[in-house]
Chain A
């Protein structure tokens, strides 16, 4: 029944128009008016995203739900939406997380709730558009446009040092992306269109690929973020309101990983091959070094922020280790590479749920105590048993306990890395120890032990709204952990196609 619907347009424009409606309605309709309106729009959007999954044809790698109209004829720019198995799961993740975020802001946001809700709705539309745009400039418009609501969210509803954090966030990302824009314009004059799939098939010399790859690397590495351009993330995460942190960690970071898959690998396969050591080096540094950095944090949000960088290291590792797997003569087929890329994809989705849950858990504590310092807590389990049950579950997922989604992606990437080089796998596997160390140590200090002070003694356990949010995320983490097959099936054809494409040199 959805075959004739312009589903992707609906998914993009419903939240954006919803955001404008909420903005115009303002805060006049009572304290909860804007929030209810926003919730309705976000649920409608989520409902609209479900047919993407149910109607998805898993046998093809071609773009589905395609919509294409001429937009700016002067530069041959098209209004061009379409999804494949790589972008579709990310879109559903986005629409799901936005519902959670709107619920999470229900009681907490007191100043200008309509603007807050509108910013998140508009951002949801922009993020879905980023995942489904198939025209480079069309993609870029949403990619950059996304910065505006996030800039406002961190700056208006953030913590004490929010202005510094948000300007740093904006400028870092902007620096990364403008060079990508120049690369896109360059390719436009080579191929005559901004169509991403035309760019995939565009012949480029090694020199051209080298520079284009670097331009893309700047844009996506900042977004992921990869060491050493990660420094904006801890600041932004710490200062952002809970909802902002959730969106940043759960979705915005994924856009970087998605960019590598959609642009870097297929457009510049030879340069990616040549420079894969650089990306792998950056990824492993993130996994190991940033893991240690997380260990010494006193601020819970900062700890989770560093943990995010460390986990995203697996994504970039999985994407770029494929070239090393091919080089290894022991591997004759694509299966190792498929494992790596699919592992990276699963890791992105799983991290979307887990990091969202971790930030929400910290948000639950912060709303009550107005502190993120680990030292201000202790023995929370005595007063908030239900909450701690959830929080410990998510912490275990963050560590990568088998049965949770955190295990699947990391395990796949580590397994694939073995086929490339023992030491890659060894270093990557260190995260199982380091991750356990920083996560569980935080769990011990915050949740267990005796009640640390009077404030902790006065804590109330989860209310029904918070319980709902936590349960939804816990279910998602469990399903993806126990039965990831449907998600892998969805992406399999597209990943296979991608790997066949990049296995062929463009030179």
Chain B
């Protein structure tokens, strides 16, 4: 094996991130609490560096490395850049919150960065094993992060639940992978695709493996009926961790669905399309309806996530290039607006006060008109009301579905989004129409306020001019 076959150079971003994370691990040990900001800065620097390296090494076409286990293509580059960006924002939003709760520790950043590494490997995986490796690296980091506030019972319970259910899901996925290996004789994704084309006849084992794969992926993404962990984990985890789980890993989840179902098992599209239809419709229904009953904003956003997953699956199941592009556009937009939603919760949280109940948002417009306006934008964006970018996300997904003559699915989609509007409106109602319960001023770091404003303004700007991001998503699949 020569170094050429390894083609190490295309993995520079991952190598850099791994080295920096190890460096942070060592440096952090020697820092006392007063100098903990250094860990934060190192973490941000690592993300920035990874982002820049990805940008600089942007591949125009598909390049494989490490004997075909690792791939870099435009899809991977775009998703990696967004993952770094989103996690970097999470870190900005988190600092004040962590300090207030005395959990401002280096481990948070170390775990967060390992999670990013896991996601990047998932995004770039060209082989079932590297995919699984990335997924587990991410999941294990997340389990620990959920339990990060070790004195909180809810946190520990959520972590336990997440771990047990996540392990089952990983098991399913692994089982599915092994069956697929048994049938096709390969773990390499393009080879699987090739072998499938060569054996056109129906194979019950193949379908069996596909079912396990879809179940495992649905679990990780949180599609109904495999969504049980989402509300509990979102609710129990520290809000910083929730904002992490809710945003970047979904992007990586989208990537592995593309890698496995589209690139690997594209020949079975008619089979997985049916499965995804069921998952999508159920997610839309359960997510939107149950969200209405929530009084806790984190739980409400958890169900809202489930309904967004339904929309993302709608685009994927269309099975066309424009469908995948629409889903990708949706997931990128989703990660930004969810991040914003949790960002506002983090902004309002103080030491000893979580600000995660819906009632805590009462009268926000009188306390801070600007951040009430930001939350208004996030909520309308999630509801899909123009001129926010959430509308364009829904429009592109719906048009992908209409394009493949599944008008009824589009109608189901808009029907449930009508129901969805109600609970987003309720948040706005609380902020604008009700009197504030506490008159305390908003107290958080300047960088957080700036970043959150940036996040909201981006949603608005993308809403007015979505063309560039949309073209980018469409160019990735062409």
* Cross-chain contact A171 with B398 (CB below 8 angstroms): no
Residue of A nearest to B377 (CB): A148
Alpha-carbon gap, A118 to B197, bound state (A): 60
One of A66-74, A87-95, A413-421, A457-465 at the interface = A66-74
**Contact at A145–B386, with CB atoms within 8 Å?**
yes
**Contacts known (A148-B385, A178-B414); A185 close to B402, Cβ less than 8 A:** yes
B416 smallest CB distance to A (angstroms): 10
List residues of chain B with CB within 8 A of the CB of A142. 386
Given contacts A141-B386, A145-B386, contact A115 B369 (CB under 8 A): yes
Would A178 and B418 count as touching, CB distance under 8 A?
Answer: yes
Interface residues on B, range: 35 or more
Known: A74-B467, A147-B385, A152-B432. A174 touches B421 (CB 8 A): yes
Kindly list chain A residues whose C-beta atoms are within 8 Å of the C-beta of B365: 112, 115, 156
Give the contacts of B420-478 with A (CB-CB under 8 A).
421-422, 425-426, 428-429, 432-433, 465-467, 470-471, 474
Complex contact B411–A182 (CB within 8 A): yes
Tell which of B386, B407, B421, B432 has the most Cβ of chain A within 10 Å. Answer: B386
Check A185 against B432 for contact (C-beta < 8 Å): no
Determine if A175 is an interface residue (Cβ-Cβ < 8 Å). Answer: yes
Task: Flag if B432 contacts A155 (CB, 8 Å).
Answer: yes
In the assembly, what is the distance between CA of A155 and CA of B433, in Å?
6
B391 touches A185 (CB 8 A): no
Residue of B386, B395, B417, B421 touching A170 (CB-CB under 8 A) = B421
**Chain A residues in 8 Å Cβ range of B396:** 74-75
A144 with B391: CB separation less than 8 A: yes
Query: Using an 8 Å CB-CB cutoff, how does the interface string of A319-347 with B read, 1 for contact, 0 for none?
Result: 00000000000000000000000000000
Q: Verify if B334 is at the interface (C-beta below 8 Å from A).
A: no
Question: How many residue pairs between the two chains, A and B, have CB atoms under 8 Å in the bound complex?
Answer: 93
Decide yes or no whether A216 CB sits under 8 A from chain B: no
A147 to B385, CA, bound (A): 9
Instruction: Please state if A185 and B387 are interface contacts (CB–CB under 8 Å).
Output: no
For A156, the chain B residues whose CB sits under 8 A away are 365, 432-433
Cα–Cα, bound, A72→B464 (Å): 10
Chain A proximity of B141: nearest CB distance (Å): 35
Decide: A185 and B471 in contact? CB cutoff 8 A: no
Cβ-closest chain A residue relative to B404: A189
Q: Indicate whether A162 reaches chain B with its CB closer than 8 angstroms.
A: yes
Q: Are A185 and B421 in touch, CB under 8 angstroms?
A: no
A141-B391, A185-B402 given; A148·B432 CB < 8 A:
no
CA distance A336 to B149 in the complex (A): 77
Minimum CB–CB distance from A163 to chain B (whole Å) comes to 5
- Cα(A182)–Cα(B399), bound, Å: 8
A144–B425 Cα distance when bound, in Å, is 14
Q: Take A179-B411, A182-B414 as given contacts and tell me if A189 and B403 are in contact as well, using a CB distance cutoff of 8 Å.
A: yes
A147 and chain B: residue at smallest CB distance = B385
For residue A186, CB closer than 8 A to chain B, the reply is yes
B365 CB, min distance to chain A CBs, angstroms: 8
Are A182 and B418 CB-contacts (below 8 A) given A140-B386, A145-B386, A170-B425? no
Interface of A is mostly: helix
* Cβ of B306 under 8 Å from chain A: no
Q: Does B337 contact A (CB under 8 A)?
A: no
Total chain A interface residues with beta-carbon distance under 8 A: 36
Smallest CB gap from A26: residue in B: B369
CB of B375 within 8 Å of the partner chain = no
Given A141-B387, A163-B429, are A75 and B422 neighbors across the interface (CB < 8 Å)?
no
Assess the A181–B414 pair: CB atoms within 8 A: yes
What 0/1 readout, one digit per residue, does chain A (179-206) give for beta carbons within 8 Å of chain B?
1011001101100000000000000000
- Is A151 positioned at the interface, with any CB of B under 8 Å from its CB? yes
A167 near B: Cβ within 8 Å? yes
Please tell me if the beta carbons of A182 and B410 are within 8 angstroms of each other in the complex: yes
Q: Give chain A nearest CB distance to B382 CB in angstroms.
A: 14
Chain A, 128-156, CB within 8 A of any chain B CB: 137, 140-142, 144-145, 147-148, 151-152, 155-156
For B387, list chain A residues within 8 Å (CB). 141, 145
Q: Is the CB of B466 within 8 A of A185?
A: no
Q: A148-B380, A148-B385, A182-B414 are in contact. Are A155 and B429 (CB under 8 A)?
A: yes
> Does the CB pair B410–A71 fall under 8 Å?
no
Residue pair A185, B395 in contact (C-beta under 8 Å): yes
C-alpha spacing A496/B414, complex, angstroms: 36
Contact A162 B411 (CB under 8 A): no
Interfacial chain B residues near A166, Cβ < 8 Å:
429, 433
Q: What are 19 A-B contacts defined by CB distance under 8 Å?
A: A71-B465, A72-B470, A75-B470, A112-B365, A147-B385, A151-B425, A156-B432, A162-B433, A167-B422, A171-B421, A174-B421, A178-B417, A179-B414, A181-B398, A182-B398, A182-B411, A185-B395, A189-B399, A189-B403
A-B residue pairs, 7 tightest by C-beta:
A141-B386, A178-B414, A72-B467, A155-B433, A74-B470, A185-B399, A185-B402
